[in-house]
Amino acid sequence: MTDKTSNQMWGGRFAAGPDAIMEAINASIGYDQRMAAQDIAGSRAHAAMLAATGVITDSDAEAIRKGLLTVLSEIEGGAFEFSTALEDIHMNVEARLKEVIGEPAGRLHTGRSRNDQVATDFKLWVRDQLDAAESGLLALIRALLAQAEAGAEWVMPGFTHLQTAQPVTWGHHMMAYVEMFGRDLSRVRDARARMNESPLGAAALAGTSFPIDRHMTAEALGFDRPAANSLDAVSDRDFALEFLSTASICAMHLSRFAEELVIWSSAQFRFVTLSDRFSTGSSIMPQKKNPDAAELIRAKVGRIYGANTALMMVMKGLPLAYSKDMQEDKEQVFDAADNWMLALAAMEGMVKDMTANRDSLAAAAGSGFSTATDLADWLVRVLGLPFRDAHHVTGSLVAMAESKGCDLPDLTLADMQSVHGDITDDVFGVLGVDNSVNSRMSYGGTAPAQVRAQIERWKATLS
């Protein structure tokens, strides 16, 4: 195939032929420039260590330090010109450093490789994102706690199969999400602790013959320790996979909550009112107020799951140590991180701004025979019926109420005694939704006293 034919296949996108195609597939600077701050931090720590161990002179280290700060200032100020010919952030920074300080720049790469350099940069970047995720989760949990505290005793229907099951409280429902996002928080912290080992100084794969001090650079960069095996240090992307796995589980939780907000804010439910800040109107239907933020959060999980699967596929068949395939790790993680942080912030904003419609919640709580289980429990507790018999009696009473077009508390005592003659007036004391929720005093139950206890436990944990 001629170069001309090849270029026609590319539709003119690569006018310079195979060299341009190779440059395009090989370069990562289009996206890994996001790690500029981490790259320069790693280089500063490395240069300081090289001077401390006598590998380079103090004057060279000082020139490198000042030069790197100049390069960082140019990047942050938008004056830096990135070059695809220089492939990646590491070579772009080093090339510019040489222009700024001359010969000492060539000594910076002593005792390291781009293999350990990129692993270090990427770890530092992911660690920053885990810290951001922790902050986002803490803010969301606090917003949920505020909602739970405000509505600790507001009754609402609890659902299974999206069918009315038993009455619960608004506070109890909010606290369910506190527990879910609390697990996400623990996963974030756990992942951060596990990944906090420095690859720097592992060099290409075997370490280096220079008398470097990897503990010094690890400490300078905030790592707990240097990675213990140089082969593993440059080959490992578990930290990125664990970040994506943690993000995926959290995104699933966000999506579940978003789905409930979509349902609850509908005209058919009216459980919550979302603020105008997180809703949009319709271009044609003036009555519409669409929960677009919740819907978009619900969709973000697909991108984050996809990133997790994509990186798993990149890594699954790679031999040790570094392979160029691993350049495909960053775009997936960058995209997932952006969408995770955005979804967390949007959900926190919606939760802080939303209003629970107490009257609508209460009206729905008493519908759908939601206290049927309380009736069955009363038959067991007071009349001594076996639960299966109590279940059958209650089912018959539900069918009777359904045929009469009323709810269980609306049946007369005579109606109830026609199904089981030993039922007394006392039964009506358990059929109200408030009585129902107040009776659920088992640990972790929906009784307001239990909900408030869990709120206090979480407040103490967070403080």
For residue 159, give the 3-state DSSP assignment.
strand
Alpha carbon 430 to chain centroid distance? Answer: 41
Rounded Cα distance, 107 and 94, in Å: 10
Rounded Cα distance, 302 and 217, in Å: 38
**Which distant-in-sequence residues (6+ apart) come within 8 Å of 416 by Cβ?**
397, 423, 427
Alpha helix (H) residue ranges in 354-426: 358-365, 372-383, 387-404, 413-419
Dihedral over Cα of 398, 399, 402, 404: its sign: negative
For residue 193, give the 3-state DSSP assignment.
helix
- What tokens were used for 161? 């199969």
Rounded Cα distance, 235 and 340, in Å: 26
Alpha helix (H) residue ranges in 196-324: 214-220, 230-235, 238-264, 292-315
Rounded Cα distance, 164 and 335, in Å: 39
Q: Which value, to the nearest 10 degrees, does the dihedral of the CA atoms of residues 83, 89, 90, 95 take? A: 30
* Rounded to 5°, angle at Cα 70 from 69 and 73: 85
Tokens 């966000």 found at: 254
Rounded Cα distance, 115 and 324, in Å: 10
113 is catalytic: no
Active site residue: 6, 73, 83, 282, which one?
Answer: 282
Q: Give me the residues paired with residue 160 across strands.
A: 163
392 is catalytic: no
Active site residue: 161, 209, 283, 463, which one?
Answer: 161
Rounded Cα distance, 49 and 7, in Å: 48
**Which distant-in-sequence residues (6+ apart) come within 8 Å of 405 by Cβ?**
none
For residue 170, give the 3-state DSSP assignment.
helix
- What tokens were used for 331? 């775009």
Q: Which residues are catalytic?
A: 161, 282
